[in-house]
Structure 1
Amino acid sequence: MALNKKADRLGTEPIIPLLIKLSAPAVIGMLIQSLYNIIDSIYIGHLSKEALSAISLAFPIQLLLIAISVGTGVGTTSLISRLLGRQEHNRANSVAEHVTFLSVIYGIVVAIIGYFFTEDLIRIFTHDQVLIDLTTQYTRIILMGALALFVPIIGNNILRGEGNTFVPMVTMLIGAILNIILDPLLIFGIGFFPELGIEGAAYATIFARLTSGIFVWIILFSDKNQITLKLKQITFDPQIIIDVYKVGLPAMALQISASTMIAGVNKIVGSYSETAIAVFGIYFRLQSFVFLPIVGLTQGYMPIIGYNYGNNNSERMKKTIKSGAIISCIFTTVGFIIFQFFTKELILLFNKDPQLLEVGTTALKRITLAFPIMGPAIIFSTTFQAIGKGIPSLIHSTFRQILLLFPTMYLLSYLYGLDALWFAIPIAELIAAVIVTIWLVIVLHEVFKKMNEPTVTDKVGKVDKAKAK
């Protein structure tokens, strides 16, 4: 059948070239997306330090939206790749159709919440009226345009499930490049464009996402695509939703824990100054340039692991895990070097405020100490998702970003102040990386043991041969 032509290569082509081939488009797309995140913040930082703090406060809410879309998308990618590995092509199509409807429903619900409750949400994070006003202006637009986020992310993950990573790369490139172009035009009112300030950044984001979403869904509905969407013929199957969220809910919770982490850190560092909030916002934008490419790597990594898990090929799984860990470690080690030796230059990109520079230099050097081991930890966590075991990833993320981080940060803050509390982040990352590594080794030992056990057919064949002798 035509449907499994691209999927079959997941079980046959050499691992490293295949991993590079599948993940390179996503890595490039993520790098462009990271570049957009940074440039967007640089433009807003040049408005004012308060505006920079405002988008830092808005970021946890944006991450909640990303949590919904990424959670659904990861569950979709994992399920489709496993179904294709088992040659269940029609059910793979049905999965794509179900999540298409889900993306529309999510977008409508979030838009309603954004219209009525944005300011109430912002007041949870700060009592500063200036920050409340700025953050509300930006966040309301983002929430009301949530459908423009859900549509391209979930559409891209449908394609990744069958091993198509090129179109998702193009989708991200369209969104990111268009956003970079529109940002200064709408923020500062260049040419015939209105000067909209921080709202201009939000409008640029929504328009860029909408454009990229239209592109990916044109591809999905074309006859050139392997997954066939026939929305008029869909028959609702609750088991598909359950199967998507067996992996998707833990992945969603991973993002929610990240949102909770950012909100909590903002609350703790905000007790010192709004500058500290801006610093953490700068760090989070900059670190995306290191870690979003790792996320891109997992987009090629997950289908290979999922397909070969479904196909009982333990050797290809082992080689893929080893390759993914090495490549991710290289990425994060390079990031560590850049953050340690070019700290001041990075902060000066956003704003030249002396206090921002002083606080930021100390913070960035200390936060990034655990970078080299964080890349492989992401790969190991993703491995659980790829084989349909999302709970370990959830526990790893929650333990790392909340249960370890908050008490450690609060204690260091209480005992030694702002400069010391930044150490809490690498401490939590190091402990969590050790735990997820040991856990994965134990789980894979059992998985590979079952894969290598002789089947009933094998046993019967051996008996027959023995009788023949």
Structure 2
Amino acid sequence: MSQETNSAPVTENKMGTMPIGRLVFNMSLPMMISMLVQALYNIVDSIFVAKLSENALTAVSLAFPLQTLIIAVATGTGVGVNALLSKSLGAHKYDEANKIGINGAVLYAFSYVIFLILGLTIVKPFYMSQIGNADIEIMDMGVSYLSTVMIFSFGIFAEIFFERVLTSTGRTIFSMTSQLCGAITNIILDPIMIFGLLGFPKLGATGAAVATVVGQCVAAVVAFVCNHKFNHEISLSFKGYSPDFKIMGTIYAIGIPSIIMQSIGSIMTYAMNRILIGFSSTAAAVFGVYFKLQSFFFMPVFGLNNGITPIIAFNYGAQNRKRMVKTIKVSLITAFCLLFVGFACFEFIPHVLLGMFSASDDMLKIGVPALRIIGVHFLIAWFCIIVGTVFQALGKAVFSMIVSIMRQLVVLIPAAYILSKLGGLHAVWWAFPIAEVISFTVSTLFLIRINRTIISKIPDGSDVL
């Protein structure tokens, strides 16, 4: 017996034994709840900021591309760490799992240093590239807000790293606990910091950033404590540590496609802001509000993704095809139900949704038809999101990257630009459903290929997609 096997825990991991229906919800429900709360505090941020002024809301909305980039690097690296950890645990290679965790932590520290430097250097040029010198108030509020988020981003990097380690070993309840603590802290601090309550100075839009980074730090501390006390399958000790560049390279080989995918989202939002600001700052604010609102429905689906990724990867490592296939089917049904609710809300109560952000008559005039048009793509997106997660869990994240590039860069931005010239602002929003149809088509083709080349070749029962 190998040294790695000797160090294995006595009990079998639940990802290889628990009934799939129960396991998916056992793993995913805590993540879905915590992601829902995260989406809620993102919305609360903007609701409070909108009470300051529409310019404040626009300033925060324009920061979204670089905020998304931070999350892209953190969560994308986590995809690589998570998939490798779960696969090693599924194959009972526990010493290897420890090495993966330690080298993953080093990559997260390196990522923070990069964003610290960016936060000190590029924030003002970033805002000038979107609005020029047209509105100094938006510029000043935006630079202060975004600089705070980037310079103190060590909290979100630490939070996501420790949460991914917890998730990879099936301890999603502790991951949920840490995220809830961070989210609740943020929600409590938002009005205090923004409006200067309880003796604190009134910080305006910057107060929302302060509340955000403090919440992230709280979540990071809680996740660290949960790992230290309850997660005994992985030991994060740096005693005698030396970098393992092979492990780091493998983490990035899996994670970089995910980073690129989400970074493409940053490019997309930046380009859309450029297109929309040409119509009015209100149009850009509507786009920002849309992103906050859609997160309330998409974040639970991403929580579902976080839950099923280690299940699929674990059972791939354990060569258990039947459990993999059933996990995919259950998650597809669940994702459809979640996003159908989002579709219904965007179609039938857009006035109510926009009203939460103190929408002016002009914002309602632009926003109501915009939400109804964009909401159509909810009926397709559920499939593309889950299938992309399957690609990542099976080590084929490059397929997800290709789909994302086609959707957001090859189709969405050119379509939005052309429609803005042909049909004006109202036509721009149709770019979202158009891009989703292309995404669905390409995702289906890749899924057929994955099934033929990987899933169907695993010698386990007769169930195939």
TM-score band (shorter)? over 0.9
Rounded Cα–Cα distance in structure 2 between residues aligned with 1:285 and 1:229? 35
Report matched runs for 1:56-71 at 5 Å.
Answer: 56-71=61-76
Rounded Cα–Cα distance in structure 1 between residues aligned with 2:283 and 2:268? 15
1:122 equivalent in structure 2: 127
Amino acid at match of 2:47: I
Secondary structure of 2:13's counterpart equals: helix
1:368 aligns with 2:375: yes
Return the offset for 1:106: 2.0
Amino acid at match of 1:171: S
2:148 equivalent in structure 1: 141
Q: Call closer, same or farther: CA 1:346–1:55 in 2, change over 3 Å.
A: same
Amino acid at match of 1:271: G
Return the offset for 1:435: 1.4
Amino acid at match of 1:413: S
Rounded Cα–Cα distance in structure 1 between residues aligned with 2:34 and 2:460? 41
**Which of residues 413, 421, 425 in structure 2 aligns to 1:418?**
425
The TM-score with structure 1 as length reference comes to: 0.94
1:309 aligns with 2:324: no
Secondary structure of 1:357's counterpart equals: helix
Check the 8 A contact 2:107/2:248 in 1, yes or no: no
Return the offset for 1:5: 6.2
Amino acid at match of 1:156: E
Q: Call closer, same or farther: CA 1:418–1:233 in 2, change over 3 Å.
A: same
Rounded Cα–Cα distance in structure 2 between residues aligned with 1:412 and 1:186? 41
**Which of residues 162, 167, 179 in structure 1 aligns to 2:174?**
167
1:439 aligns with 2:446: yes
Highest Rg: 1 or 2?
1
**Which of residues 351, 360, 365 in structure 2 aligns to 1:353?**
360
Rounded Cα–Cα distance in structure 1 between residues aligned with 2:138 and 2:408? 25
Secondary structure of 1:252's counterpart equals: helix
Give the fraction of aligned pairs with identical amino acids, expressed as a percent. Answer: 37
Q: Call closer, same or farther: CA 1:426–1:276 in 2, change over 3 Å.
A: same
Rounded Cα–Cα distance in structure 1 between residues aligned with 2:300 and 2:11? 23
2:89 equivalent in structure 1: 84
1:240 equivalent in structure 2: 247
Check the 8 A contact 2:7/2:95 in 1, yes or no: no
Q: Call closer, same or farther: CA 1:278–1:223 in 2, change over 3 Å.
A: closer
1:99 aligns with 2:104: yes
Rounded Cα–Cα distance in structure 1 between residues aligned with 2:67 and 2:442? 29
Amino acid at match of 1:346: L
1:337 equivalent in structure 2: 344
Amino acid at match of 1:362: P
Secondary structure of 2:302's counterpart equals: helix
Check the 8 A contact 2:258/2:397 in 1, yes or no: yes
2:221 equivalent in structure 1: 214
Check the 8 A contact 1:7/1:84 in 2, yes or no: no
**Which of residues 46, 51, 72 in structure 1 aligns to 2:51?**
46
Q: Call closer, same or farther: CA 1:356–1:4 in 2, change over 3 Å.
A: farther
Report matched runs for 1:292-331 at 5 Å.
Answer: 292-331=299-338
Check the 8 A contact 2:264/2:404 in 1, yes or no: yes
2:212 equivalent in structure 1: 205
Q: Call closer, same or farther: CA 1:224–1:411 in 2, change over 3 Å.
A: closer
Check the 8 A contact 2:319/2:460 in 1, yes or no: no
2:256 equivalent in structure 1: 249
Report matched runs for 1:182-201 at 5 Å.
Answer: 182-201=189-208
Secondary structure of 1:77's counterpart equals: helix
Report matched runs for 1:382-397 at 5 Å.
Answer: 382-397=389-404
The TM-score with structure 2 as length reference comes to: 0.95
CA deviation map 1:360-405 (0-9, x unaligned) = 0011000110202211210000000001111001011111111110
Rounded Cα–Cα distance in structure 1 between residues aligned with 2:160 and 2:262? 14
Which stretches in structure 2 are left out of the alignment for 5+ residues? 1-5
Q: Call closer, same or farther: CA 1:138–1:6 in 2, change over 3 Å.
A: farther
Return the offset for 1:102: 2.0
Root mean square deviation, CA, Å: 1.6
1:405 equivalent in structure 2: 412
Rounded Cα–Cα distance in structure 1 between residues aligned with 2:55 and 2:119? 22
Rounded Cα–Cα distance in structure 2 between residues aligned with 1:13 and 1:360? 46
Q: Call closer, same or farther: CA 1:53–1:223 in 2, change over 3 Å.
A: closer
Check the 8 A contact 1:410/1:421 in 2, yes or no: yes
Secondary structure of 2:176's counterpart equals: helix
Q: Call closer, same or farther: CA 1:7–1:100 in 2, change over 3 Å.
A: farther
Rounded Cα–Cα distance in structure 1 between residues aligned with 2:430 and 2:190? 34
Rounded Cα–Cα distance in structure 1 between residues aligned with 2:377 and 2:318? 36
Secondary structure of 1:232's counterpart equals: coil
Amino acid at match of 2:452: H
Secondary structure of 2:232's counterpart equals: coil
Which stretches in structure 1 are left out of the alignment for 5+ residues? 455-469
Return the offset for 1:285: 0.1
Return the offset for 1:453: 9.4
Rounded Cα–Cα distance in structure 2 between residues aligned with 1:262 and 1:388? 28
Secondary structure of 2:61's counterpart equals: helix
Rounded Cα–Cα distance in structure 1 between residues aligned with 2:220 and 2:8? 23
Q: Call closer, same or farther: CA 1:361–1:232 in 2, change over 3 Å.
A: same
Amino acid at match of 1:77: N
Return the offset for 1:429: 0.7
Check the 8 A contact 1:330/1:372 in 2, yes or no: no
**Which of residues 140, 152, 155 in structure 1 aligns to 2:159?**
152
Rounded Cα–Cα distance in structure 2 between residues aligned with 1:158 and 1:118? 31
Check the 8 A contact 2:8/2:92 in 1, yes or no: no
2:388 equivalent in structure 1: 381
Return the offset for 1:438: 2.2
Check the 8 A contact 1:6/1:162 in 2, yes or no: no
Rounded Cα–Cα distance in structure 1 between residues aligned with 2:229 and 2:263? 34
Amino acid at match of 1:347: L
